[in-house]
């Protein structure tokens, strides 16, 4: 009872990795959709390669920095909350150890242990490391593995950038007559892949996820292209 089994530790590590991988896929998906919508919209107004490159790079940098900043703020808030909860738990353990021992016993009972076994486990866990025991059982926090906002921000930045590079390169590398078709085709294929991947990682139905992803991306590109074409024709 005092230590997680190998299977439990492996399962927790695998679950954490899957969550990070799924977040990376979704970040790349955001990069694909937003940058594709931007460059396709500009392509509706002009076929100038420098204008397309400028717009695409601006969208890539703005989007990746926004994603990184948002993730940093979000995870920093979560980390602050975790630290505050640990501080409260540490104070309670110092001021009312018996009440905290009883609380841990009841929590273990709630997980299916008998009263006697739960009490013995709570005593052993408290003797080994009371704060870690309460953090894991009561709060669901690992004090040695708090969320890192810099890691989250960096991962979001890289994932968005990787996704955004696809429509950007597909738009600026081919000749004028091919670039729109190449961009739309490559984006739809990429969205099918990210939709399938996110569904599989989340144990969801992949076909429906792929259709939603591809349909949403196609709609975004269609709308932005139409707006760009109208503005281009109006000479705006």
Residue 14: what pLDDT? 45
**Is the per-residue pLDDT at 144 higher than 80?**
no
- Residue 16 in this model has a pLDDT that exceeds 90: no
How many Å apart are CA 40 and CA 133, to the nearest integer? 54
In this prediction, residue 202 carries a pLDDT of: 75
Give the pLDDT band of residue 232 (cuts 50, 70, 90).
confident
- What pTM value is reported for the model? 0.76
**What is the per-residue pLDDT for 7?**
45
What's the mean pLDDT in 132-156? 83
Q: Where do the domains of the chain lie?
A: 15-233
Helix axes 149-172, 49-95, angle to 10 degrees: 170
Residues 17-28 have a mean pLDDT of 74
Per-residue pLDDT tens for 181-228?
Answer: 999 999 999 999 988 988 887 777 889 989 999 999 999 999 999 999
Average the pLDDT over each of 65-79, 133-147, 218-232 and give the range with the smallest value.
Answer: 133-147
User: Taking 90 as the threshold, does the pLDDT of residue 22 lie above it?
Assistant: no
| CA–CA dist 89, 213 (Å, integer) | 43
Rg of the chain (C-alpha set): 25
Q: Using the predicted structure, report yes or no on whether residue 125 has a pLDDT greater than 50.
A: yes
> Are residues 183 and 36 in contact, defined by beta-carbon separation less than 8 angstroms?
yes
Q: How far, CA to CA in Å, does 212 sit from each of 42, 50, 164?
A: 24, 32, 19
187 close to 221: Cβ distance less than 8 angstroms: yes
**CA–CA separation, 43 and 90 (whole Å):** 59
Q: Which DSSP symbol is given to 3?
A: S
> Is the per-residue pLDDT at 117 higher than 50?
yes
Nearest to 42 by CA among 215, 183, 194, 195: 183
Given a cut of 50, whether residue 6 has pLDDT beyond it is no
Angstrom CA distances, 141 to 50, 134, 145, stand at 50, 9, 8
pLDDT at 10: 44
Read off the DSSP letter of residue 135.
Answer: I
Is the predicted pLDDT of residue 5 greater than 70, yes or no?
Answer: no
What string of DSSP letters covers 165-226?
A: HHHHHHHHSS-HHHHHHHHHHHHHHHHHHHHHHHHHHTT--HHHHHHHHHHHHHHHHHHHHH
Question: What pLDDT was estimated at residue 12?
Answer: 44
- Out of 64-68, 84-88, 97-101, the most confident range is 64-68
Q: What per-residue confidence (pLDDT) applies to 140?
A: 81
Average confidence (pLDDT) over 52-70: 94
CA–CA distances in Å: residue 197 to residues 29, 203, 209: 10, 10, 9
Q: Averaged over 93-102, what is the pLDDT?
A: 87
Mean pLDDT of the chain: 85
């Amino acid at each position: 009872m005092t230590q997680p089994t190998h299977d439990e530790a492996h399962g927790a590590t695998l679950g954490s990795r899957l969550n990070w991988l799924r977040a990376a896929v979704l970040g790349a998906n955001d990069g694909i959709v937003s940058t594709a919508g931007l460059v396709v919209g500009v392509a509706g107004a002009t076929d100038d390669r420098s204008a397309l490159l400028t717009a695409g790079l601006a969208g890539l940098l703005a989007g990746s920095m926004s994603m990184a900043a948002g993730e940093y703020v979000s995870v920093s808030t979560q980390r602050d909350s975790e630290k505050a909860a640990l501080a409260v738990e540490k104070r309670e353990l110092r001021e009312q150890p018996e009440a905290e021992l009883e609380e841990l016993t009841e929590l273990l009972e709630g997980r299916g242990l008998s009263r006697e076994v739960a009490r013995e486990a709570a005593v052993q866990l408290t003797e080994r490391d009371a704060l870690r025991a309460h953090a894991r059982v009561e709060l669901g926090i690992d004090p040695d593995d708090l969320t890192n906002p810099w890691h989250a921000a960096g991962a979001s930045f890289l994932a968005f950038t990787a996704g955004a590079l696809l429509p950007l390169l597909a738009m600026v590398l081919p000749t004028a007559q091919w670039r729109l078709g190449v961009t739309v085709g490559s984006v739809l294929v990429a969205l099918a892949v990210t939709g399938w991947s996110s569904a599989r990682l989340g144990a969801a139905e992949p076909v429906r996820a792929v259709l939603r992803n591809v349909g949403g991306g196609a709609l975004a590109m269609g709308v932005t292209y139409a707006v760009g074409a109208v503005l281009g024709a109006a000479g705006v």
